[in-house]
Amino acid sequence: MKKISTNYPSLILVLIASVFYSCGEAQVQGIDSAESRDCIGPLQKLAFPVGEYTKTKKEPKSLPPDSWQYKAILPDSYSPESMVYFDGYLWIMAFMPLKPDTAAIWRYNIDTGEWKKYSAISSVERVPILDLVVSSNETLWGVTRQVSQFAESSKLIKFNKEGNVFEYIDDNAHSLSETLTNVRDVSFDENGHIWLVDTKGVYEFDPESLQVKTRVLATKEQRFGHLQLDTNGHAWFLDVEGKGVQEYNPITDELRVSHSNTWLENDFRYSIDPESDFLVNKMFLDKDGRLWLDDKGWFDINARDINGGPLWYQVIRSPIFLTYGSVSLETGYIWEKPGDIYQSSDGFLWFSSSRGLVRLDVNTAQWCLLSLSFPITEDNEHNLWAFYENMLFMHSIDQ
């Protein structure tokens, strides 16, 4: 394990003079002081000017916390987009900035530090931008995103360990390749079936029989996005046009609409587009049955409210998510929403933000902003891996 030294990229050396560590919120009794030094202070802890536009400012950069150890740099100036741990490796989808057609899959050996690049799928010498996921039966899957410049819709891919290649996967009737337009999320049930949510519907795919079943179709007024499966096999997905979270029971074929956008409070002062504040960037089901919608709160899917739907908990939002806007707003600030959420084995939740990686301790309500960024993943030795720009860092949960 290596510490930062003069042998690391010159960028780090330039940033050393600007390092600062402070707690992202008021100290919570019982929190170790050494751990709190990992946190960067929010832009505004208590208040910000209203009616006075503040021009975009560059805040001083900080290095990752001392508890995170530098391990490697992503080759060829690639930038990470998504990452999973599988079969002793980190698998990273990455691309060169401003060049989405350069997307490739990088494999990092956490024991030897070796990199391997995959730049083709099924002998096609181009890798569309994609997300990588690991199924319940320990298979590496991926879903490509819609690439409009190539008139290309979403596709399902699988890693072939024997051939050491990625392959496109379709059903017998080619319904997947002909139906999927823009896959927004993917999940797996206990049978190893793959559930995909497209903007137009929810689909279940059996990778053994290569059969696909349409579970829910969107109406003309709907546009689906984000999908999570609970321990009962129920599919929770989101109508991103503001119609709310919906619950689908595959056994009874029952579809139940939970709540509309009333649980998303809008504040016109913080938003570039006031209408967009009703939309949800990310939906995430944690290990305790909390279905998170961005950082604004969660549905307890194991408890019911007076209307029979899952009970909603509203979060007191952290000022960590306040950032300077790039357009002239009334305040000059935007209260952004996380684009991704991850949960580590120690129970911490990790949120993405434009300013860094945000950690939430749900037991103490402490939010912490770190000089790291998504993607983040955990290996089987309980080490967390995350990036600072294109530099890979590791943190041991057990240390």
Whether residue 42 lies inside any domain: the answer is: yes
pLDDT tens readout for residues 106-133: 999 999 999 999 999 998 887 877 889 9
pLDDT tens readout for residues 340-375: 999 999 999 999 998 899 999 999 999 999 999 999
Tell me which amino acid residue 80 is. Answer: P
Whether residue 173 lies inside any domain: the answer is: no
**Sequence-separated (6 or more) residues with CB below 8 Å from residue 334:** 270, 271, 272, 322, 323, 324, 325
Whether residue 134 lies inside any domain: the answer is: no
pLDDT tens readout for residues 124-172: 887 877 889 998 788 999 988 766 555 567 888 999 999 999 999 988 8
Whether residue 220 lies inside any domain: the answer is: no
**Number of domains the chain contains:** 1
Whether residue 291 lies inside any domain: the answer is: yes
* Residue 264 clears pLDDT 90, i.e. is over it: no
Whole-number Å distance between alpha carbons of 156 and 11: 38
Whether residue 237 lies inside any domain: the answer is: no
* Residue 56 clears pLDDT 70, i.e. is over it: no
Dihedral sign computed on CA atoms, order 197, 199, 201, 205:
negative
Whether residue 6 lies inside any domain: the answer is: yes
**φ, ψ for residue 291, nearest 5 deg:** -95, 100
User: Is the separation of the CB atoms in 129 and 95 below 8 Å?
Assistant: yes
Q: What is the pLDDT of residue 230?
A: 94
pTM for this model (two decimals): 0.85
Pairing of strands 366-370, 373-378: unpaired
Q: Which domain holds residue 291?
A: 1-65+270-399
Whether residue 365 lies inside any domain: the answer is: yes
Whole-number Å distance between alpha carbons of 189 and 213: 14
